[in-house]
């Protein structure tokens, strides 16, 4: 889950490779289930739980219908998929996948609860290992592993953060408790050593997100897991394991505390982030009230404004929430024919000029000078910024830049230009942590509009291939990235995003399911299950993070959150009673 997406290369925002994997798994699982449906006893229904799940399913369909109706009454908005019906589908799919997975999840837990828990935990740990490798590569490729003074904030392989958001924060809140499971469950020194190393790396990665929500959610989740594990531990039933385990665990805790303290002392940016907490919270409160202002009728409060409709409604409130730019592909009605790109800057605000860029991944040629060719048309004087940068999504290293400030040709005609970029030669990075380069196009003037077509790229005098340079396939292989301004896309609160887009009824159903799930794995029938403390920690950590971050608008982590929530809801009581967590 934390790496299966190639969006920066494909340009696909609404669907990616992770969707293919989930759909294939669901299809195979339901085919298997249909073949054995007569041989498997039917689980006794739980009316309250199943009724609430039905409400959430209806809320998805209703949210899509309301979004479609809303789009029919508003003029078309040229801000890409985030203002189209596609955005509703993008947000709806995580709930749809989770609901479709419910029969498979119930069947797995009914057949072998301990095995299902073991496989879930092992999968989470495998995902954490892949995530940690991606984060280490990113850190080494750009700021450096030991550069703690830099303000570089990692995003790992969560490309959904091209317009900001808390995908990496939510993933860590959900997954870090399972790193604790790996340490507790390890029965051999080699397995324990691997789990301890993963825990150390995750502490490093979590700190270098410089996200205060991650710090609070991860620490709170681990505290929940520790309390529930302590309550599960009964001297008569718990195998404490070989003598080395207690000493090794003590050493690991000491190393983690020392690592956190040393990294905190070495990072001036971390202290700066903590010092701005009060101001940031005030800004968030203002942002929340602005978001709530889109609920202008009693019906909107009950049913929401429609899935995926927050960005456009927020941007239309007033100029302080406007989009920083847009990119659309249009058909050329003139004699040239074909298609071209229309790239726009912000409507009015100079502070947002140049923050929206359309990017494509290109070959990084070390030390080479780049040259860009294009057909360009400008009806008004504007400023086009062209860059080739060492970049990993939101943060750039060295760049070669050219600013084009010009009028269009007579009568708005097309011109062909060849432009040499200026700046330092790019570096390839280390063999195990290579840097990536991207071509970036941005309008750096409010109200500016530039038409582009037939792009070419040269490096050191040699052609460098571009994919879809004439935009005949729409925006395929072109990926939008926004820098330092993310207000229209996220309300920064899990509960408000449920309320605004889905309505109060769906929010109440969601809250009821969360309370039922947390009760079941903390105090209820499943409290003594091996994985119960870690599930409680994951769900509680995500809900705590949701006080200051959105989750449901990031499909991959939203699906994981719902899957763990539904797993907790359906975790049964086993005949063995209290099973030590180390035996999972």
The CATH number given to whatever domain includes residue 392 is 2.60.120.260
Residue 303 domain flag: no
Is 276 in the same domain as 361?
A: no
| pLDDT reported for residue 230 | 85
Do 26 and 153 form a contact (C-beta atoms < 8 A)? no
Q: Encode pLDDT of 386-399 as tens digits.
A: 999 999 888 888 99
Q: Encode pLDDT of 19-56 as tens digits.
A: 999 999 999 999 998 888 655 555 566 777 888 889 99
Cα–Cα distance, 505 to 249 (Å, whole number): 46
Residue 384 domain flag: yes
Residue 39 domain flag: yes
- The three-state secondary structure class of 416 is strand
Q: Would you say the C-alpha torsion 346, 349, 353, 357 has a positive or negative sign?
A: negative
How far, in Å, are 499, 522, 534, 540, 565 from residue 511 at the CA level? 11, 16, 20, 12, 11
* β-bridge partners, 356: 482
Q: How many CB atoms lie within 10 A of CB 47?
A: 7
Residue 480 domain flag: yes
Counting as low any pLDDT under 70, the low residues of the chain are 37-45, 75-79, 233-241, 271, 273, 275-278, 406-412, 574-584
Is 361 in the same domain as 269?
A: no
* β-bridge partners, 386: 402, 441
| pLDDT reported for residue 182 | 95
What pTM, to 2 d.p., does this model score?
0.92
| pLDDT reported for residue 343 | 95
Number of domains in the chain: 2
Give the domain-ending residue among 452, 484, 516.
484
Residue 318 domain flag: no
Tokens 């040709």, residue located: 409
Which has the closest alpha carbon to 60: 462, 509, 568? Answer: 509
Do 87 and 308 form a contact (C-beta atoms < 8 A)? yes
Tokens 């889950």, residue located: 1
Is 48 in the same domain as 70?
A: yes
Provide the H-helix boundaries in 240-309. 243-266, 268-275, 277-292, 298-303
Is 26 in the same domain as 96?
A: yes
Residue 311 domain flag: no
Q: What is the DSSP letter of 578?
A: S
| pLDDT reported for residue 238 | 47
| Conformational region of residue 112, where left means phi above 0, alpha means psi within -120 to 50, and beta covers everything else | beta
Give the domain-ending residue among 484, 503, 521.
484
Cα–Cα distance, 472 to 454 (Å, whole number): 10
Cα–Cα distance, 501 to 62 (Å, whole number): 10
536: Cβ contacts below 8 Å, ≥ 6 apart: 224, 225, 228, 518, 521, 522, 568
Residue 316 domain flag: no
Please give the structure tokens belonging to residue 519: 């009760």
Is 469 in the same domain as 498?
A: no
Output the CA angle 109-534-112, nearest 5 degrees: 15
Q: What are phi and psi of 24, to 5 degrees?
A: -65, -40
Q: Encode pLDDT of 562-571 as tens digits.
A: 999 999 999 9
506: Cβ contacts below 8 Å, ≥ 6 apart: 55, 56, 59, 63, 304, 498
Do 132 and 457 form a contact (C-beta atoms < 8 A)? no
Cα–Cα distance, 198 to 130 (Å, whole number): 10
415: Cβ contacts below 8 Å, ≥ 6 apart: 375, 376, 377, 408, 409
| pLDDT reported for residue 332 | 87
How many Cα atoms sit within 13 Å of 245 on the Cβ side?
14
Is 334 in the same domain as 396?
A: yes
Give the domain-ending residue among 484, 515, 550.
484
Do 85 and 549 form a contact (C-beta atoms < 8 A)? no
Is 505 in the same domain as 453?
A: no
Is 433 in the same domain as 379?
A: yes
* β-bridge partners, 342: 328, 451
Q: What is the DSSP letter of 44?
A: P
Tokens 């202290």, residue located: 271
Output the CA angle 114-120-124, nearest 5 degrees: 145
Is 358 in the same domain as 471?
A: yes
Is 135 in the same domain as 114?
A: yes
The 3-state secondary structure of 122-172, one letter per residue: HHHHHHHHHHHHHHHHHHHHCCCCCCCCCCCCCCCCCHHHECECCHHHHHH
Distance of CA 175 to the CA centre of its chain: 14
Cα–Cα distance, 170 to 166 (Å, whole number): 6
Cα–Cα distance, 464 to 360 (Å, whole number): 12
Tokens 């140049």, residue located: 354
| pLDDT reported for residue 549 | 93
Do 162 and 480 form a contact (C-beta atoms < 8 A)? yes
Output the CA angle 279-205-14, nearest 5 degrees: 80
Cα–Cα distance, 220 to 536 (Å, whole number): 11
| pLDDT reported for residue 406 | 67
Q: What are phi and psi of 96, to 5 degrees?
A: -60, -45
Please give the structure tokens belonging to residue 535: 């599930």
Domain range for residue 399?
A: 325-484
Is 210 in the same domain as 266?
A: yes
How far, in Å, are 44, 52, 60, 97 from residue 47 at the CA level? 9, 8, 20, 22
Residue 220 domain flag: yes
Do 213 and 284 form a contact (C-beta atoms < 8 A)? no
* β-bridge partners, 420: 371
Is 105 in the same domain as 185?
A: yes
Q: What are phi and psi of 393, to 5 degrees?
A: 65, -95
Cα–Cα distance, 133 to 204 (Å, whole number): 12
Strands 326-331 and 429-430: unpaired
Please give the structure tokens belonging to residue 374: 């294009």
Cα–Cα distance, 7 to 16 (Å, whole number): 7
Tokens 């505390």, residue located: 257
Which has the closest alpha carbon to 179: 194, 164, 189? Answer: 194
């Amino acid at each position: 889950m934390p790496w299966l997406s190639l969006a920066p290369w494909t340009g696909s925002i609404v669907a990616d490779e992770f969707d293919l994997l989930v759909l294939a798994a669901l299809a195979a699982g339901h085919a298997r289930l249909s073949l054995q449906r007569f041989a498997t006893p039917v689980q006794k229904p739980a009316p309250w739980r199943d009724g609430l799940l039905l409400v959430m399913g209806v809320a998805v369909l209703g949210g899509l219908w309301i979004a479609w109706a809303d789009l029919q009454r508003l003029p078309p908005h040229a801000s890409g998929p985030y203002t189209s019906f596609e955005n509703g589908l993008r947000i709806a799919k995580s709930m749809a996948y989770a609901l479709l997975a419910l029969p498979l999840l119930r069947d797995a837990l009914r057949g072998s609860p301990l095995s299902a828990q073991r496989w879930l935990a092992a999968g989470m740990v495998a995902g954490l290992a892949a995530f940690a490798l991606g984060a280490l590569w990113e850190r080494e490729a750009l700021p450096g592993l030991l550069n703690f003074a830099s303000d570089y904030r990692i995003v790992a392989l969560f490309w959904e953060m091209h317009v900001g958001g808390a995908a990496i924060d939510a993933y860590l809140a959900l997954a870090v408790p399972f790193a604790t499971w790996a340490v507790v469950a390890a029965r051999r020194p080699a397995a324990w050593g691997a789990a301890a190393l993963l825990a150390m790396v995750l502490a490093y990665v979590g700190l270098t997100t410089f996200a205060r929500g991650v710090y609070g959610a991860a620490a709170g989740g681990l505290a929940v897991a520790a309390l529930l594990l302590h309550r599960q531990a009964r001297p008569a039933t718990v195998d404490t394991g070989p003598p080395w385990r207690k000493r090794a665990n003590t050493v690991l805790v000491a190393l983690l505390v020392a690592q956190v303290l040393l990294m905190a002392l070495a990072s001036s940016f971390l202290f700066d982030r903590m010092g701005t907490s009060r101001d940031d919270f005030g800004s968030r409160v203002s942002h929340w009230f602005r978001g709530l202002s889109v609920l202008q009728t009693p019906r909107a409060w009950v049913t929401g404004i429609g899935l995926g409709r927050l960005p456009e409604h927020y941007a239309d409130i007033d100029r302080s929430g406007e989009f920083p730019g847009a990119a659309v592909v249009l058909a050329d009605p003139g004699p040239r024919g074909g298609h071209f790109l229309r790239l726009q800057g912000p409507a009015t605000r100079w502070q947002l000029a140049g923050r929206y860029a359309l990017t494509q991944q290109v070959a990084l040629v070390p030390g080479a000078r780049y040259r860009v060719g294009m057909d360009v048309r400008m009806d008004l004087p504007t400023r086009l910024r062209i860059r080739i940068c060492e970049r990993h999504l939101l943060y750039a290293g060295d760049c070669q830049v050219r600013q084009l400030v010009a009028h269009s040709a007579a009568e708005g005609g097309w011109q062909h230009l060849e432009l040499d970029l200026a700046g330092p030669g790019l570096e390839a990075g280390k063999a195990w942590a290579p840097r990536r380069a991207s071509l970036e196009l941005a309008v750096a003037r409010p109200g500016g509009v530039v038409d582009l077509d037939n792009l070419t790229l040269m490096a050191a005098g040699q052609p460098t291939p571009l994919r879809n340079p004439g935009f005949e396939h729409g925006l395929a292989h072109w990926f939008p990235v926004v820098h330092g301004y993310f207000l229209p896309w996220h309300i920064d609160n899990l509960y408000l995003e449920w309320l605004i887009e889905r309505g109060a009824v769906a929010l109440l159903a969601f809250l009821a399911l969360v309370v039922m799930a947390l009760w079941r794995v903390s105090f209820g029938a499943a409290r003594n299950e091996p994985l119960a403390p870690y599930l409680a920690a994951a769900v509680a950590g995500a809900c705590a993070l949701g006080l200051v971050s959105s989750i449901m608008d990031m499909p991959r982590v939203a699906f994981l959150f719902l899957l763990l929530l539904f797993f907790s809801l359906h975790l049964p009581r086993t005949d063995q009673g209290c099973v030590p967590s180390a035996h999972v």
